[in-house]
Structure 1
Amino acid sequence: MNHVTKLAFSGGIRSFTSSLIWPYIGFGLYKYLGLSLVQVSQFYLTQLLISSIAYVIGGYLTDYLGRRLVMTLATSLSSLVLTLAFFLNTAGVIGMVLLQSGFSSIYAVANMASVGDMGGNFKQLVRSFSVIRVGINAGWAIGPAIGGLLLGDIGFKPLLLLGGVLSVVAIPFVYSLPDHKGRVRFFLPNRKFAMFLIPTLLTFTVMGQLGFPLVTYYSGLGIAVWQVGLLYAVNGGLIILLQRWIGERVSGNYRTWISVGMLMYSLSYGLVSLVSNVWEALLDVVGITLAEMIVSPLSQSISTSLAESETRGTYSGIYGLVSSMGRTLGSSMSAFLLTRGGEVTWSSVGGVGAVSAILYLALI
């Protein structure tokens, strides 16, 4: 089993155990542990802060300790804190879940740096990130469905315990990876990388809509929650089937293709306001997924190729920080605009995607 396949397997196992839990964290805290909606909102804000700090710290640790050790420690500690959460009171559960979020962010940084260490040309980078995305989305395709069923049967804290125990399976895959260390250095990223981050922030602002904003909007249209769940299953299934094929074909002229992908995002989200039933929603989600399969591996590959090899972990941490900020900005923007009419919301999202496409052409 080669390096990329091991990363895909470990990513699939981790995404499966995470997706058992994370789609239902807010609901579990509210319904099972008695937090108010305001407290749940505060939880998500705290989680954003911890994840942002973890991306930066993870970048430096990845260069100092090496990719393999950081991924092994992050996976092991994620498993440990979720297991401990089962035995603690409400405050302890919140603390452990927040820690698990931080460890997952650190893992993501080391994972991305590890792909860059393999060397090769840009096409090989896109191919590697496409394979890893297939593994991750295989986990996400089945995790939420199983987690939703188990939540009603066994409850919230036992579900955390199950996620903690199952995530141990990923440790042998991670520990068998080749290792690489960088050089710890406090610095400003190079100019090309910094310019790339400008449209990247807008890109993840758009990508952040595939979650709370779409669920909220579709539910308001009368589309059942289980039908929305099927839409996400279609998203994951298409990525499993087509990601590698699309990745091979967009890796040539990456500057043009990432702009085309953002224009597809712009059109697909701009049309959300015209959706009136689940079948129209399904067609729109297909468009969103096609855009995702173009943009996501290209974005990761461009970031990796622009990073300096000696500090690749730190660069990956900065990229993770910006992507996290963009996703949160996107969700917050839509939550605000939804109160002013869905048409305004989705045309605004489409506009952000179009601006991002133009900036990729202008700045890369």
Structure 2
Amino acid sequence: MKTLFNNYLNTFKGLSKEVWWLALITLINRAGTMVIPFLSLYLKEDLHFSIGDVGWIMSAFGFGSVAGSWLGGKLTDKIGYYKVMVGSLFISGLLFIALQLANDFATVCFGVFVVMLTADAFRPAIFVALNAYSKPENKIRSLTLIRLAINLGFSAGPAVGGLIITGLSYAGLFWVDGITCILAALLMIQVLNPKKAKVLDTIVNDNPTSAYKDKAFLVFLVAMTLFGIVFLQYFSTIPIYYKDVHKLSELEIGMILGLNGFLIFIFEMPLIKWLEHTRYTKLGLMFFGALLTGISLFVLNLTAWSGVLIMGMLLMTFGEMVAFPFSNAFAADRAKKGNQGEYMALYSISFSIAHIFGHNAGLQMANGLGFDTTWYIISGIALVCALILFSLNKHLIKLKF
């Protein structure tokens, strides 16, 4: 046991101080993002919107995410990642608190759009910051550490969120989310001064390639959008499925969603370190991750036993653990060819587009076709994603030889 624990600790060695600070800031921020997994339930149960209306509100969420990711990339290239990150955290914190005041359809749509416009400007900036503060050989593990912080916060967030809803109300979630965003911004100002930080990997490209002309990267983004559509069902359609079909309480829903973050905290870093030393390429590993995520939804139709929900969550979690770190690393590698902010903004936008279509499509299909048919269709999308990644991997291997 001691050897296993020491091996686990060794997976964290060699990462820079700045990366650890970024991870702590992310942990504080994400620990409060308990609004997101409960947003569809809040809209349906507390504000009494129909499932169809919830779908359109979640599309506004996606449009805001697209606009925020694009704006964050542009601002990162112009004014730097530090100002973008601090501004995004602080302003989005205030907006999260204000969002609870919206209660009619139009106001909620606008409020969700503005919140995500501000909050998701953070995403391209932190990717560029990680590129700067990580040695080339440590970038995948640095990205994994940030994901670890996200999921450690996310594992506690839904569970605590379920308790807050049960003991108080949904409104308490908005206060906690807003305050933690503001605290994360204040901590960043105190501990991460860009003038004193040690930049470990400066990428200078006098003749940068436009990300829009990188055909392989654009195909990769299509696959990531499809993967996002599948993955995001766990943040909108799945919570309603848990409640309406399996009759789970908000606390039970929070515990199952929290299992995802707990498993990632325990297993992801050792898994990534091991996979880095296998013969598989980044795209090859992402292929397996996409398959596992699709299967996680397919198995829900195999039995009415509620234990299958745990099985689905396990499959999705391991699919996510494989797919996301290596997709981040693949995008960061391609970004060295051009403007980093532009590349990482497009990478973030691929998931933002998934927010536009994924939540709404899943909810509308569940409302019109039923959950069983929805899971078959979403699993099919995961298969298409996996096949695109498989083909792109073969193409890029041929180009190298």
Place the TM-score, normalised by the shorter chain, in its bin.
0.7 to 0.9
Take 1:241 and 1:344, find their aligned partners in 2: how far apart are those partners? 34
Q: Which blocks of at least 5 consecutive residues in structure 1 are unaligned?
A: none
Residues 167-220 of structure 1 show CA distances to partners (whole Å, capped at 9, x for unaligned) of 222124433154789999987242231121122222112212212222233334
Take 1:340 and 1:37, find their aligned partners in 2: how far apart are those partners? 13
1:357 aligns with 2:371: no
Question: In structure 1, what is the equivalent of residue 319 of structure 2?
Answer: 291
Q: Of 244, 252, 256, which aligns to 1:231? A: 256
Cα offset, 1:44, TM superposition: 2.7
Take 2:242 and 2:38, find their aligned partners in 1: how far apart are those partners? 18
1:255 aligns with 2:283: yes
Query: Do 1:33 and 1:90's aligned partners in 2 also have CA atoms closer than 8 Å?
Result: yes
Take 1:66 and 1:151, find their aligned partners in 2: how far apart are those partners? 38
Residues 118-144 of structure 1 show CA distances to partners (whole Å, capped at 9, x for unaligned) of 3544x5222111111111111111122
Cα offset, 1:26, TM superposition: 4.7
Cα offset, 1:157, TM superposition: 4.3
Take 2:134 and 2:177, find their aligned partners in 1: how far apart are those partners? 34
Question: In structure 1, what is the equivalent of residue 10 of structure 2?
Answer: none
Query: Do 2:59 and 2:357's aligned partners in 1 also have CA atoms closer than 8 Å?
Result: no
Query: Do 1:189 and 1:315's aligned partners in 2 also have CA atoms closer than 8 Å?
Result: no
Query: Do 2:209 and 2:338's aligned partners in 1 also have CA atoms closer than 8 Å?
Result: no
Match of 2:309, as an amino acid? A
Q: Of 111, 114, 124, which aligns to 1:99? A: 114
Identity score, percent? 21
Cα offset, 1:230, TM superposition: 2.2
Matches within 5 A, 1:182-193: 188-193=212-217
Residues 326-362 of structure 1 show CA distances to partners (whole Å, capped at 9, x for unaligned) of 2443333333443334443323222222222221121
1:302 aligns with 2:327: no
Cα offset, 1:309, TM superposition: 5.8
Deviates more, 1:179-188 or 1:73-82: 179-188
Take 2:45 and 2:246, find their aligned partners in 1: how far apart are those partners? 22
> Normalization by structure 2: what TM-score?
0.79
Matches within 5 A, 1:111-190: 111-118=126-133, 120-121=135-136, 124-157=138-171, 159-175=173-189, 176=192, 178=194, 188-190=212-214
Matches within 5 A, 1:1-364: 2-19=17-34, 21-28=35-42, 40-84=54-98, 90=103, 94=108, 98-118=113-133, 120-121=135-136, 124-157=138-171, 159-175=173-189, 176=192, 178=194, 188-225=212-249, 226-252=251-277, 253=280, 254-308=282-336, 311-338=339-366, 339-364=368-393
Cα offset, 1:29, TM superposition: 5.2
Query: How many residues in Structure 1 have an aligned counterpart in Structure 2?
Result: 361
Query: Do 2:62 and 2:357's aligned partners in 1 also have CA atoms closer than 8 Å?
Result: no
Residues 234-269 of structure 1 show CA distances to partners (whole Å, capped at 9, x for unaligned) of 111101111101111223522321112222223322
Take 1:168 and 1:222, find their aligned partners in 2: how far apart are those partners? 37
SS of aligned partner of 2:212: coil
Cα offset, 1:77, TM superposition: 1.0
Cα offset, 1:274, TM superposition: 0.8
SS of aligned partner of 1:224: coil
Residues 259-311 of structure 1 show CA distances to partners (whole Å, capped at 9, x for unaligned) of 12222223322222113222222122111111110001111111111114651
